[in-house]
Amino acid sequence: MLPPHRHASRLDSPLELKPLPHNQSWSGKIAYLDRDGVLNRWSDNYVNSPEEVETLPNSGESVARLRRYGFRICVVTNQSPIGRGLWDHDTLELIHKKLETQLIEEDSDAILDLVLYSPYHPSENAWARKPNPGMLEAGRQIIEASENNKQEDLKIMYGHQWVERPSESSSIMVGDQISDIEAGRKFGVNAIQCDQTIGIADVIDKIVPRRG
């Protein structure tokens, strides 16, 4: 089993979740979001440095709307350039820090609660690489452990190992690629495909109603 990796931390390290807006209690909803083509601009040649990070219009506002509607945010992104030897985990950490900064600059509620990535080459057929659902499985368990103060007992399970699963009926997966949609469906969430030139702002009104 090739597990996901986590931004700036070991996968099983304690996760410190910041309060949801208005100090609302969490109902169990998670928004699993792809990265490129959803939060920032897609590139056929990959996003290779922090300088190449450009958030899509209103992506920060859209993430903030999700959190104000009670969603925890879990980014799940395939990052095969690491497995291809193009660059390393440290470079990806800088890219994700730049993304987090740009989202927060747009809206202070646009916090990414958890960022997971698959560094593996496609030929490895890693369970963590979409269209497989490994990143979503890990994301649910890490966030729930933090919310329920059970991080010391956390043992992340995948596939058939994970028997007693919570319902994902109120959660969503947003992606621009078929592999994102397949991963979401395998995991049991409502999977929504967006236009990669628009990103999450393309579909946010389908998920979160606008206040009148």
Positions marked catalytic = 34, 36
Tokens at residue 80, please?
């095969």
Residue 157 to residue 161: CA distance in whole angstroms = 6
Residue-wise DSSP of the chain:
----EETTB-TTS---PPPPGGGPPP-S-EEEE-SBTTTB---TT---SGGG--BPTTHHHHHHHHHHTT-EEEEEEE-HHHHTTSS-HHHHHHHHHHHHHHHHHH-TT---SEEEEE---GGG--TTSTTS-HHHHHHHHHHHHHHTT-GGG-----GGG--SPPP-TT-EEEESSHHHHHHHHHHTSEEEE--TTTGGGGTHHHHSPPP-
Q: How far apart are the first and last CA of the chain?
A: 48
